[in-house]
Amino acid sequence: MLFSNLFRKPNSQQKKLKSYLQEHWGVVPKELEWYEKALRHKSVVGSGKFCHNDCNERLELLGDAVLDTVVTEYLFMRFPDANEGLLTKIRARIVNRQMLGDVGKKAGLNNLIEARIGTEDSMDKITGNALEAWLGAIYLDRGFETTKKSICDKMLKDYLDIDDVVKQSSDFKSQLIEWAQQQKISFDFRTYASEGSVSSNFVCEIHINGEMHSIAEDRSKKLAEKQAAKLSCQKLGIE
């Protein structure tokens, strides 16, 4: 901690952040700077106030590794009879970007993120990345055991239903998510209301490695995503 920070009184935003950490993650922070950085998306870089090292991408890398380790151990201990293939599939369902985005929103993390409106990344993706960076911040601030406890006691219990994840049917969307996670390939579901559609349809675009891979339209978000996932699975030869 910087010597100057010893005498610096926390501002209202920092007080809010400290309260959020304690209430939603069970963490009493030492250095709030890590958490402020974890919530800072790369879209704010270049505004004159921040440089690249001030955004959350490095913390995201660290948090991803910590989360992977903790979730793997958690599943290993919870399901002693499951083979490595099943454990890998369950882990992939938990740590994929869409699931992390949902977890981040349930935890209210999306309301604290600092990002420019109009960024190319979807808010779900930004929230999922910020969650990984957030866990990286907890790790650097309070160590591995505190991070592990926060993931197991909060994320995997309060913000995610493990039993529901395990029971997920192997539909096209699940297959695509698991394939991308296993291949370490970035992907993104971008779903939005169809412009000018009288029937209020929804369009889902699936982007793989930054390029649009498939697109589908249907009467609900869920159906549009399933159709787009089916097209991508067929193109990729995923059974």
Catalytic (active-site) positions: 64, 132
DSSP 124-144: HHHHHHHHHHHHHHHHHHH-H
- Please report, for residues 102, 164, 165, 184, 210, the alpha-carbon distance to residue 176 in angstroms, rounded to integers and kept in the order given: 17, 18, 15, 12, 16
131 touches 39 (CB < 8 A): no
The Cα–Cα gap between 137 and 151 comes to 13
Q: Side-chain half-sphere of 186: how many Cα atoms within 13 Å?
A: 8
The Cα–Cα gap between 114 and 127 comes to 10
Token representation of residue 172: 């096209």
CA angle 190, 195, 196 (to 5 degrees): 160
Comparing CA positions, the residue from 226, 100, 214 lying closest to residue 170 is 226
Tally the residues of the chain.
Answer: 239
Query: Residue 214: phi, psi to the nearest 5?
Result: -155, 160
